[in-house]
């Protein structure tokens, strides 16, 4: 309203001025100014300009401004004028006219205003990636509320855009992110713009894209992102801020699109903020919450392995709060699929696995969804156990075991462990790729415990155990100690082996023809096998057994002794031989026996006549049950022993004693004594043994001791002028061998004496006969004494005479009986020693061949009676030799004597059974009458 009033006053003044001019002396008014224009406007001035038509030199231009400018002012100027001192932002009406010669032209007016003051404190209040928020203060000056604010913004290198507002702030959006904008802000008032307040600002960059965690370690986290959308992202700076369990916040920058934040705690949760800074402007923040990887588990160990499971154990990782961790196990069979299991503990057993298979396993810790680094390893499940573990062979120093490979995949890659321990000894282990092993260097007869297992990739299967012993050594010094016909005694020495070892010994035996062996055991080192067959060869096997393992065999072939022979007899004998006979044993194989005959003489050497060989045992063998022992010494007592033998084993022995017949003597001379009543006989000593000699002259006998040979023996009581046959019988061990007969001739001077003696002898015999018959009637007959030829070689004792008297009584009885029958009276030969009575029997001797069989021995009571009746009264035979007992008394029976060859026989003579005397052949002799 004030402005309007001022304009009216201007226009009033101009009207008054025109009227005055028109009423007064009228001058020509100058032309008004043309093209009055406002040149410039400032906050305190306005510049006006115009054009003139008249000569400007004599013209005055008057300018009057009125209005809100704050003053009314008239100025005189030419062509142009600047009105200053105005109020900013004020509306002014300026009038311009020309004054010339006091005459004013019409007024040219123009309404304008001063420029308002510029805005104050223009500020970028906020920036986003698509807008800029500007704020300012209203300019100083009147009535700022009616101002209009204009914002012009231009992207670097782009087009300008303008926006207006009546407020003191504006948000310019639709901008490019991260772009530099130059903006101008001015105030418009009354159509006049203030000066511009300019500046530049950048929109916030777009936030990073696809912010992600690339990797996590126990002490760092690697982030990455993509550059933000918008122009020229290369010049951006990226800020990363970390806030987490560590209780601190850290920020770092990078121009790359990734960053690794380290120095962090393991297994800790962190929040990361990432923004873009460009031209000092930050983008919005992209955040991600993540954690560092926990430390890995420690001391991952395969605790146990079975054929279907693996037991793993570990220690919790180092770092804060390990209790809230989850542990994962991933296991993969070689060539197979992977499986995963988890646990919150520090151990796990993974089962359902294949036996003997290699598994690769990985173990990691998960905390806050982040896995630690993996601890990896591999382990093999235990193979299945081996089966059928058994002994292939055993020796005294080794054991060979074999087994079947375990069931399961790929068994060819197994190795096998064998551990063996001696009873009370050390342990040894062997490894092998085969399904068998030989443990060597072992002790014989020792129990070992073997454990066998399969092994693959260091994993062992369960053990299969077997206790087995090495073979004991063979027994030593096996020998046959003794034996009978039904038993064998064996003895041996314990086998070499561990000290104080106890063995059970087994003995097996089988005989010839047997099919089933017999067996017996013992704990001793000696055994008697009983109830065996006699004379049978046995194959014996002895072995030691220990821990139920049989040792090596020691063998021996031994035989039982045959049963002994029976009924051993001296079947026949000569002076140089003895024929033995026996019965074979009743054994099953007696026909295979060999019989041994052993003999040795018992006699003593006599005058060097015994060969030395007869003193030693001599042995011969035969397959028969009889044997003729030859080349013996005559008159020698031998011990004969017979036994059976088979397989070099002898039976028990059967023995007998038998003598060979003595050798016959040779009568070297028979010389008549003076008067013809006796003769002197001389004979040679026989070869071999002899005990005594018996002289037979005229059929009557007399005994001489063994020392009488080679010396003259006087025989008395003969008749003169007679011829007498003389025989010398050698006596040995009850056997008698007569020499060849020799005829002795006496002188004739003794014939008369002989007749007298004969008469006397007859009378004596009649008396004896009467006496004998009288005694028989009394049932106690008496034996009259008869006279014998007397052979004397020395004195005799009283006791011997008494015995001779008893014997003579018996002889007298026989003599009387003979006289009663008209026979010759036998001559009486007093014995030099006691003669036991013998039975009365008659025997006839005939010459026999030398080797004719005879009875084993001749009775000592046998006698020979030959020759004519002797005169009564004893005849004496004197000799200077000591008297010895005769082996047998004079014979009482009459014998038939035949002529014999006086030449000594060249071969030994034998007596047949029932004979009394063996006489060698000689010259013919007269037959003497016999009784009966």
Blockwise average pLDDT, block size 10, the chain, 932 residues? 45 50 62 84 83 73 78 68 82 84 85 86 86 87 79 82 88 84 87 85 85 86 86 80 75 86 86 85 87 87 88 86 84 82 90 86 86 86 90 91 86 85 82 90 89 86 90 92 90 85 91 90 92 91 91 92 93 93 92 93 52 66 94 91 91 91 92 86 91 87 89 87 91 90 81 73 88 73 43 41 44 38 36 36 32 36 36 38 36 33 39 39 36 34
- 442 shares its domain with 417: yes
* Predicted pLDDT of residue 809: 45
The CATH number covering residue 64 comes to 2.60.40.10
Q: What are the tokens at 388?
A: 């059928």
- 531 shares its domain with 570: no
Would the pTM count as exceeding 0.75?
A: no
Last residue of a domain, one of 241, 268, 292: 292
521 has which bridge partners? 506
* Predicted pLDDT of residue 226: 87
Q: What are the tokens at 468?
A: 């087995």
Alpha carbon distances (Å) from 718 to 670, 709, 765: 13, 22, 19
405, 410, 415, 420 alpha-carbon torsion, rounded to 10°: -30
* Predicted pLDDT of residue 457: 79
- 428 shares its domain with 494: no
Question: Which residues, including other chains, have CB under 8 Å from residue 570's CB and lie 6 or more apart?
Answer: 578, 579, 580, 640, 656, 658, 856
Residue 648 lies in a domain: yes
CA–CA separation, 648 vs 596, rounded Å? 11
Total domain count, the chain: 8
- 674 shares its domain with 650: no
- 47 shares its domain with 101: yes
Strands of the 45-51 sheet, one edge to the other: 34-41, 45-51, 80-84
CA–CA separation, 140 vs 187, rounded Å? 11
* Predicted pLDDT of residue 56: 66
DSSP 27: -
- 656 shares its domain with 632: yes
Residue 772 lies in a domain: no
Residue 270 lies in a domain: yes
Residue 810 lies in a domain: no
Question: Which residues, including other chains, have CB under 8 Å from residue 367's CB and lie 6 or more apart?
Answer: 267, 291, 294, 324, 325, 326
Last residue of a domain, one of 252, 269, 292: 292
- 490 shares its domain with 554: yes
Closest CA to 292 of 264, 327, 328: 264
- 489 shares its domain with 453: no
Judge whether 507 and 521 are in contact, CB under 8 Å: yes
CB count in 10 Å sphere of residue 704: 27
Residue 785 lies in a domain: no
CA–CA separation, 43 vs 805, rounded Å? 219
Residue 576 belongs to domain spanning: 566-605+615-660
At residue 493, φ and ψ (nearest 5 deg) are -110, 145
- 135 shares its domain with 95: no
62 has which bridge partners? 76, 97
Residue 823 lies in a domain: no
Closest CA to 177 of 133, 233, 234: 233
Judge whether 658 and 592 are in contact, CB under 8 Å: no
- 578 shares its domain with 631: yes
- 745 shares its domain with 688: yes
437 has which bridge partners? 401
* Predicted pLDDT of residue 606: 45
Residue 456 lies in a domain: yes
Distance linking the first and last C-alpha atoms of the chain: 236
Interior CA angle at 320 toward 319 and 321, to 5°?
Answer: 120
* Secondary structure (3-state) at 226: strand
CB neighbour class for 563 (10 Å; exposed up to 12, middle 13-18, buried from 19): buried
- 319 shares its domain with 233: no
CA–CA separation, 448 vs 463, rounded Å? 15
What are the CB-based long-range contacts (under 8 Å, 24+) for 11-20? 11/107, 14/95, 14/97, 14/104, 14/106, 14/107, 17/104
CA–CA separation, 293 vs 325, rounded Å? 11
Last residue of a domain, one of 594, 625, 660: 660
CA–CA separation, 543 vs 444, rounded Å? 13
Residue 721 lies in a domain: yes
CA–CA separation, 32 vs 95, rounded Å? 11
* Predicted pLDDT of residue 615: 55
CA–CA separation, 90 vs 681, rounded Å? 225
């Amino acid at each position: 309203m004030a402005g309007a009033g001022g304009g009216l006053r201007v226009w009033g003044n101009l009207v008054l001025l025109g009227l005055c001019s028109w009423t007064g002396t009228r001058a020509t008014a100058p032309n008004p100014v043309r093209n009055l224009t406002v040149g410039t406007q400032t906050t305190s001035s306005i510049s006006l300009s115009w054009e003139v038509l008249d000569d400007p030199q004599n013209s005055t231009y008057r300018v009057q401004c009125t209005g809100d400018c704050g003053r009314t002012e008239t100025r005189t100027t030419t062509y142009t004028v600047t009105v200053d001192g105005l109020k900013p932002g004020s509306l002014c009406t300026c009038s311009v006219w020309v004054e010339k010669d006091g005459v004013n032209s019409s007024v040219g007016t123009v309404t304008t205003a001063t420029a308002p003051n510029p805005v104050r404190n223009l500020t970028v209040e906020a920036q986003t990636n698509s807008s800029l928020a500007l704020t300012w203060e209203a300019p100083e000056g009147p009535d700022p509320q009616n101002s209009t604010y204009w914002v012009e913004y231009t992207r670097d290198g782009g087009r300008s855009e303008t926006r207006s507002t009546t407020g003191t702030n504006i948000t310019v959006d639709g901008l490019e992110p991260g772009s530099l904008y130059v903006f101008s802000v001015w105030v418009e008032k009354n159509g006049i713009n203030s000066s511009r307040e300019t500046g530049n600002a950048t929109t916030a960059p777009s936030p990073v894209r696809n912010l992600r965690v690339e990797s996590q370690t126990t002490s760092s986290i690697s982030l990455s992102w993509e550059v933000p959308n918008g122009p020229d992202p290369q010049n951006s700076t990226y800020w990363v801020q970390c806030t987490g369990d560590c209780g601190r916040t850290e920020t770092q920058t990078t121009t790359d699109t990734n960053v690794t934040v380290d120095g962090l705690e393991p297994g800790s949760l962190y929040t990361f903020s990432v923004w873009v800074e460009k031209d000092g402007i930050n983008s919005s923040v992209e955040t991600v919450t993540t954690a560092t990887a926990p430390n890995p588990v420690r001391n991952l160990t395969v605790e146990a392995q079975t054929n279907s499971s693996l037991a793993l154990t570990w220690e919790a990782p180092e770092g804060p709060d390990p209790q809230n961790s989850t542990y994962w196990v991933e296991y993969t069979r070689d060539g197979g699929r992977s499986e995963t299991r988890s646990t919150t503990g520090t151990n796990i057993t993974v089962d359902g696995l294949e036996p003997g298979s290699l598994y690769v396993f990985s173990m990691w810790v998960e905390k806050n969804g982040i896995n630690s680094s993996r601890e990896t390893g591999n382990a093999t499940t235990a193979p299945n156990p081996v089966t059928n573990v058994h002994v292939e062979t055993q020796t005294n120093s080794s054991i060979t075991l074999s087994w079947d490979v375990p069931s399961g995949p790929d068994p060819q890659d197994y190795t096998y462990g064998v551990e063996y321990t001696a009873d009370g000894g050390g342990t040894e282990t062997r490894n092998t790729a085969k399904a068998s092993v030989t443990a060597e260097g072992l002790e014989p007869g020792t129990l070992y415990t073997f454990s066998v297992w399969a092994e693959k990739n260091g994993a062992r299967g369960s053990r299969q155990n077997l206790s087995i012993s090495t073979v004991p050594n063979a027994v030593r010094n096996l020998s046959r100690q003794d034996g009978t016909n039904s038993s064998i005694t064996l003895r041996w020495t314990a086998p070499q082996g561990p000290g104080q070892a106890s063995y059970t010994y087994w003995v097996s035996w089988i005989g010839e023809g047997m099919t089933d062996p017999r067996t017996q055991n013992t704990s001793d080192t000696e055994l008697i096998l009983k109830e065996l067959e006699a004379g049978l060869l046995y194959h014996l096997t002895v072995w030691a057994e220990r821990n139920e393992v049989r040792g090596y065999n020691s063998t021996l072939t031994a035989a039982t002794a045959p049963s002994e022979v029976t009924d051993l007899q001296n079947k026949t004998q000569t002076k140089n031989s003895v024929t033995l006979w026996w019965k074979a044993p009743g054994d099953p194989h007696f026909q295979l026996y060999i019989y041994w005959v052993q003999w040795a003489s018992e006699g003593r050497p006599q005058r060097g006549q015994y060969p030395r060989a007869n003193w030693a045992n001599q042995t011969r063998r035969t397959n028969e049950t009889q044997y003729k022992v030859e080349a013996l010494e005559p008159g020698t007592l031998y011990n004969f022993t017979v036994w059976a033998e088979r397989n070099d084993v002898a039976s028990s022995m059967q023995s007998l004693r038998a003598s060979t017949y003595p050798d016959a003597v040779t009568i070297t001379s028979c010389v008549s004594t003076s008067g013809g009543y006796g003769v002197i006989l001389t004979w040679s000593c026989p070869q071999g043994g002899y005990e005594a000699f018996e002289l037979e002259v005229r059929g009557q006998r007399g005994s001489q001791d063994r020392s009488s040979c080679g010396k003259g023996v006087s025989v008395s009581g003969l008749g003169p002028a007679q011829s007498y046959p003389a025989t010398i019988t050698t006596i040995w061990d009850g056997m008698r061998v007569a020499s060849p007969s020799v005829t002795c001739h006496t002188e004739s001077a003794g014939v008369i004496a002989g007749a007298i003696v004969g008469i006397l002898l007859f009378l004596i015999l009649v008396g004896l006969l009467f006496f004998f018959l009288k005694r028989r009637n009394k049932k106690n007959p008496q034996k009259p004494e008869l006279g014998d030829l007397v052979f004397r070689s020395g004195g005799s004792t009283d006791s011997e005479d008494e015995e001779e008297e008893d014997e003579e009584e018996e002889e007298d009885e026989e003599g009387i009986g003979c006289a009663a029958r008209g026979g010759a009276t036998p001559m009486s030969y007093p014995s030099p020693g006691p003669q036991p009575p013998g039975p009365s029997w008659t025997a006839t001797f005939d010459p026999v061949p030398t080797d004719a069989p005879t009875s084993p021995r001749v009775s000592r009571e046998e006698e020979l009676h030959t020759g004519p009746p002797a005169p009564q009264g004893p005849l004496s035979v004197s000799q200077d030799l000591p008297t010895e007992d005769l082996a047998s008394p004079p014979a009482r029976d009459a014998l038939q004597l035949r002529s014999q060859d006086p030449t000594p026989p060249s071969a030994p003579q034998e007596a047949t059974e029932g004979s009394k005397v063996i006489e060698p052949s000689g010259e013919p002799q007269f037959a003497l009458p016999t009784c009966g």
